[in-house]
Each structure stands twice: as C-alpha cells, then as structure tokens.
A and B are shown apart, each in its own frame.
Chain A
Amino acid sequence: MASTMNRWRMFIPLCGFLLLAVILLLGFSFNDPHILPSALLKKSMPAFSLPGLKDSNRLVTNEDIKGRIVLVNVWATWCPTCKAEHAELLRLKKKYGLEIVGIVYKDKRDKALSWLEAYGDPYSVNIFDSDGRLGIDLGVYGAPESFLLDAESTILYKRVGDINSRIWRDELEPRLKTLKFFDPDSVVDPS
C-alpha cells in the first residue's frame, strides 16, 4: 500500500513540470508581445487642439468629434500598412456610413494631401499631428492605430495594426451593434 503511494508521488514533479510547460506555452503563443494593451481603454479621448490637414488655419478640437460614434484612425504616408488598410476604411465609410476621423501622424502636409487625392478620402476630418504629441497622449507607438469612440468620446476599443474585414467582423461590428449604431433611428445619412 505504502509503496503504491510512493510510486504515485514520484510523478508529482513531472506533473508540476507539465503544468508549467502548458502555462508557458499558452503565455508565449497567444500573447503577441509586440501588441501593447492600451492604457486608455474606457478613458476619454485626450484633449487636443490641432490644425486640420486641409485647412491649416482651422483648429480641430474635441468639440468637433463630440456626440457621435467615430473611428479615430492614426495614419501616415510613410506607413505601408496604412496603404493596405485604406481600401477597407473607404468601404466602411461608404457601406455603413461609419465616421472616420484621421490623425495624420508625423508626416508632411503636402504628402498627406496628395495621398488622399490619389487613393480617396474616407475621413470626415483630419487632425494634423506633425510632431506626434497627440499620438503620445493616445499611447500611439506606430502607425496605423485605430480607436473606436462612443458618443461621449470614450475609447471603447483600440486596434494596433490595420483595419481589415476580419477586424470589422470580429471587433468593430459587434461593438457598434451594442452601441445601436445600426438601428434605423440612429443611422446617420451617409451622403
């Protein structure tokens, strides 16, 4: 009797090792260390007052995006992934009437303008953040990054990387449904 007990106890270290191995395997395979969890989730959009892209004399502030559900998209012409996500942004704007507010991040004004000229303009307005100061307030560390804001300008979701059809289906659409974005009463005329 005692010896069978001892035989089982022999396996305790092995079990411990296997447990540790499973924990580490899960930890290392499902967590992309390059993607930081946003420290700003459930917080308000930081205060800003910056020139617009098209009209540099006009200051864009928090007032301009208040009261509506918007997707804030941080982009730049030097960022290849921004080019990759551009078509999806145009689609979301056209098909669902999603309002997209751009932050031109550490870029040149003329370059950004000719980019919109060439590839189309899904943005209702673009904030021109030439030195990346607003980017820092948003915890941005690269481009593209996107933030979903509700009508109170609270950050509900942050995406590091491109907006694509999978992100729309799995992350944005369900959240917009919760916000009743698609309800006929609240749909904004996309014209």
Chain B
Amino acid sequence: MIMFSYNREIMLKFLVVVMMSLPIAAGEVIDVFDFATEAQEKRYQSLIAIFRCPKCLNTNLAGSDGPIAADLRREVSRMVMEDLSDEQITEFMQSRYGDFVLYDPPFRMDTWVLWLGPLLVLLLGSYFLRGLQRSAARAMNDEERADLEKLLGERDASNDQD
C-alpha cells in the first residue's frame, strides 16, 4: 500500500513535468541550429528579424513558415556560424533578392523620393499654410473697410432698436 502511493506520487510528478513541457515544445520554432555560442544564437535571431521573406509581403524570415523562408534561415544560420559580418550577410541577401528583402531600404538615386518625399510634402504644406495665414492677416483695403463699416453699422442699428 505504501509502495502504491509512492509510485502514484512519482507518476503524478512525472505527469506534471510532461504537461509543463508540452506547450513549450509546441511553441518552439522547428529550426534547430547548433550555434557555438549564445552570442551567435542572438545574432541569428536579430538577423532573421530584419530580413523580409521574399515570398510573403509582410512577414520577416523569423515569422514566415514558407519553405523559402526556412531555406534562407538555414543560410543565415550558416553564415552566422561562419562568423560573417552583418554587412556580408546583408550583401548576400540583397544581391540575390534585391532591396525587397530589406525593411530598411538604402538611399539611392532611385529611392530618394521614398526618403525625401514626406519632407517635400511637409515643406509644400507649410508653404501653403503660410500663404493662407498671410492672406488672413493682411490689412484690409478701403473697399473691404467700407464693407465692414457698413455691416457694423447695420448691426449697431439693429441693436439700438432692441
């Protein structure tokens, strides 16, 4: 009887451990790479976050379950293990898949609109706004003043009647 309850306690503990490990196993990414150091693992994680999956429009390599994203994660892990620099890895991705894979596009002749466009719109807008303010703030000419006097006169007249 004592043996039985002892076994049951072990079984219970074992079950708890199994159940606790289940959700972790299910949530883990499928890729398993043997990085030599934790720093490499960290670099890998940060790199797959900054490259865009070529097949998907709005997912990075880390978040995509597409086959091409898995292949590219494998390539990135290989380059991290070979201690290639971030520039070399970016060059690898960009020379094959173009600017598309970069969330941070380079400043070039054909991308200046992308970078300076908002500034241009801001300048145009503020120029236009200033024009509006200036025309509102300018002094009245004689014709306008006469109109205003007339309106005020009418108002005063109607006020007097009350």
Contact = CB atoms under 8 A, between A and B. Distances in A.
B17 to A, nearest CB: 37
A136 interface: yes
A141 B54 CA distance: 6
Given A34-B57, A141-B68, A142-B55, A6 B98 contact: no
Which residue, A16, A34, A139, has most C-beta atoms of chain B within 10 A? A139
20 contacts: A12-B128, A16-B124, A33-B57, A36-B97, A36-B100, A37-B98, A37-B100, A38-B98, A39-B94, A39-B95, A39-B96, A39-B98, A132-B68, A132-B71, A135-B71, A137-B96, A139-B54, A141-B54, A141-B55, A142-B55
A62 B55 CA distance: 27
B57 A36 contact: no
Interface in B61-76: 67-68, 71-72, 75
B161 interface: no
Nearest to A40: B96
Interface of A: 6, 9, 12-13, 16, 33-34, 36-40, 106, 131-132, 135-142
Nearest to B141: A2
Interface of B: 54-55, 57, 67-68, 71-72, 75, 94-98, 100, 124, 128, 131, 135
A162 B98 CA distance: 21
6 tightest A-B contacts by CB?
A: A39-B98, A141-B54, A139-B96, A141-B68, A141-B55, A36-B100
Contact of A139 (B71, B97, B131, B135): B97
B96 A138 contact: yes
A140 B55 CA distance: 10
Contacts, number: 44
Nearest to B124: A16
Would you call the interface of chain B mostly helix, strand, loop, or mixed? helix
B57 A139 contact: no
A33 B67 CA distance: 19
A90 to B, nearest CB: 27
A179 B94 CA distance: 29
Contacts of A139: 54, 96-98
Contacts of B98: 36-39, 139
A36 B54 contact: yes
Given A136-B72, A139-B97, A13 B54 contact: no
A142 B95 contact: no
A34 B53 CA distance: 11
B139 to A, nearest CB: 13
B71 A136 contact: yes
A6 B96 contact: no
A38 B94 CA distance: 10
A55 B10 CA distance: 58
A34 B100 CA distance: 10
A137 B93 CA distance: 9
A141 B97 contact: yes
